[in-house]
Structure 1
């Protein structure tokens, strides 16, 4: 086979591998169970508020909670704030921790590497699958929040944090931006989970370690004695999407967050490759 034919086949082989990875990921019952659990967060929140006889005072509970009964579109925003510290990292930890360790535990990793996949390509495909789950999970939460909010509460123009009022279609666009922001925030955790997954053939251990790293980072982020470290923690900007709910829209934090997560992706991606490239799998 000529080098030109090989070069032509390589991109198509990578796309086929990615398609196979996404198909396997989103056909798993575990994946759908986690997405259903994520969708339950805004549903339970909205139902609890609907059945509650009392009113929520401003500043009481999670951000935006006091606005939910006036406008159901705030259900998704409130649920996102509730889900970011634990529920979303938990699902991401399960998916990212299973990327390599899951294949190793099943004995399928060696067969994947016997095919023309290559270790770099396999790592990229596994990471892309975990990243895709990030976006699907956050969009699921936002969409479920919008649906249950519209079902149980009035829907109308949204008053932003800056005091400006925007239309319902524009608020839907802001919701998608928030979902994208949170998805990008979780990409660094995906890279950490991918690296941890290369260290073991026990997927449960990799999943648990990824979630623990997330918890530790959040704990370090609230200690004032470590304020010098806070801007370097991958969880630092997780709740920093307030600028997306202001007028004019402020995307500066989005850019800072993306830059930080990109750094984690590069560092832990390199570590994952360094470990995976030297790992004896085929023997």
Structure 2
């Protein structure tokens, strides 16, 4: 496992994606700071109009902006490369010479993708917090329920939101791993994973498909608003975790079924 994470985080591509994610909250904070006109409530991303009043909202706003596209894009690149990347380099056959076999390899590759999900979300959250503290005043936060919490508790809420989004991306990671077992072309697996994330969000916005929405892996991605109420409502967190667990189980089973019979020695 350690060697897999070492390889993942030694790649320039990984650090380039993390730096690009870190740039998102910095650009948001700089744009708000430099503009002479305050943001109109209801216009732009959620919480954008509150940034000038409290810099702690930079991180949350950046996460709202990143969830639909930027985070799934980076996760899709990493997850899609898990197996297909090794196959394209010709190293997959050597990895399978170890006695642990294919199941362990799948678990190690998926764990690496999960760690990247956490790192990507943490990057956006940390960069947003630092940019907010540097450019705007920081103080007690008014929640969506109208209650006010101190700075310490607001930091805890931000960490909970980051954890929520990390969990949200686990199903997409499993999908990427599954697709990666079907091809030796990593770019194809990456593209398919990202396209599926976009398709899922498009379908989730079609009222004619209300019956399908609870089954889409992206359905609860923006449900973390419940963590900004007093008291915290854990319903969305639980529903989201259960949905992602279902995708992990199904996609993991399909990935195992395909990979266990995949000819990688010819």
TM-score of Structure 1 vs Structure 2, range by shorter chain:
over 0.9
> How far apart, CA to CA, are the structure 1 residues paired with 2:136 and 2:19?
22
Q: How does 1:38-117 map to 2 (within 5 A)?
A: 38-117=21-100
Residue 252 of structure 1 deviates from its aligned partner by: 1.1
SS at match of 2:37: coil
Residue in structure 2 matching 1:189, options 172, 186, 209: 172
Q: 2:6 maps to what in 1? A: 23
> How far apart, CA to CA, are the structure 1 residues paired with 2:167 and 2:70?
16
CA RMSD of aligned residues (A): 0.6
Residue in structure 1 matching 2:108, options 115, 121, 125: 125
**Structure 1 gap segments, 5+ residues each:** 1-17
Residue 196 of structure 1 deviates from its aligned partner by: 0.4
> How far apart, CA to CA, are the structure 1 residues paired with 2:210 and 2:69?
22
Q: 2:215 maps to what in 1? A: 232
TM (norm. structure 2) is 0.99
Residue in structure 2 matching 1:32, options 15, 27, 30: 15
Residue 117 of structure 1 deviates from its aligned partner by: 3.0
Q: How does 1:229-268 map to 2 (within 5 A)?
A: 229-268=212-251
Residue 116 of structure 1 deviates from its aligned partner by: 1.7
> How far apart, CA to CA, are the structure 1 residues paired with 2:138 and 2:19?
24
Deviations 1:228-270 (A, max 9, x none): 0000000000000011011101111100000000000000000
**Structure 2 gap segments, 5+ residues each:** none
The runs of at least 4 consecutive aligned structure 1 residues that moved more than 6 Å come to none
> How far apart, CA to CA, are the structure 2 residues paired with 1:143 and 1:131?
18
Higher CA-based Rg? 1
